[in-house]
Amino acid sequence: MIYLASGFNPLHFRTFLAAELTLILKNRAVHIETGLYGDLAGNIEQISKLEPESGVIMLEWSDLDARLGIRSLGSWAPYDLSDILSSARARTELFKTIIIEASGHAPLVVCPPTLPLLPVSFTPTWQASAFEVELKACVGSLAAQLAQSPRIRIVSSEYTNSISPPAERWDLDAELSGGFPYTLPYASLLAGTMARLISPPQPLKGLITDLDDTVWRGILGEDGVDGISWDLNCHSHMHGA
């Protein structure tokens, strides 16, 4: 049994995750349990009680403060920003505590917020505001601390950015109507990523067939071991790269 903890309605993501895990875990039935809508902290705490095979934790901005979500939109007056940051810091501290506790009962996969941040602050869209930088630093600090545990795997933001442009991830209509924030293509891609973190594939091995003047600079048969290189000192670091 896999336990999926999220603050949003898991809907299609649950279906995609079950399908991806079924492809990986052949000949095994995949059962995914979910918690209550809007109660991420409570859902994470269920992992310690249920002790599933693995736990999946999905964080989004509205889990840090409801005013960061479109369904619970609050005032975005300038004097609210410091309060939102205080709330976010308190929530990330809570999440750190209960996630580390839950990791003692099941291996975990944690996905930090991947949706675009709503335009809460008062700077142009091309300028990073102090509020935005501090909020993302707060989440980054949480991820950095959780990543120290061998029982917790963090979804790479670099990888998600490479497979899905941020502007193509959010489905406003679906979130307003059903509480599910992702577009279907992104939900599918994210579920595949999470499934590979739950059950990592076997490491691949490579057979390199072109060595001379490719992997290293020089020709081994003519220059000898001391005559080939791929490092910065020998000005051949591009071969290593």
Lowest mean pLDDT among 66-80, 143-157, 188-202, 221-235: 66-80
- Mean pLDDT across the chain: 94
| 83-98 tens-digit pLDDT | 999 999 999 999 999 9
Query: pLDDT over 70 for what percent of the chain?
Result: 99
The pTM score is 0.87
| pLDDT band with cut points at 50, 70 and 90 for residue 26 | confident
Q: How does DSSP assign 83-121, residue by residue? A: HHHHHHHHHHHHHHHHHHHHHTTS-EEEE---SPPPS-S
Sheet arrangement for strand 54-58: 32-34, 2-6, 54-58, 108-111, 152-154
| 218-231 tens-digit pLDDT | 999 999 999 999 99
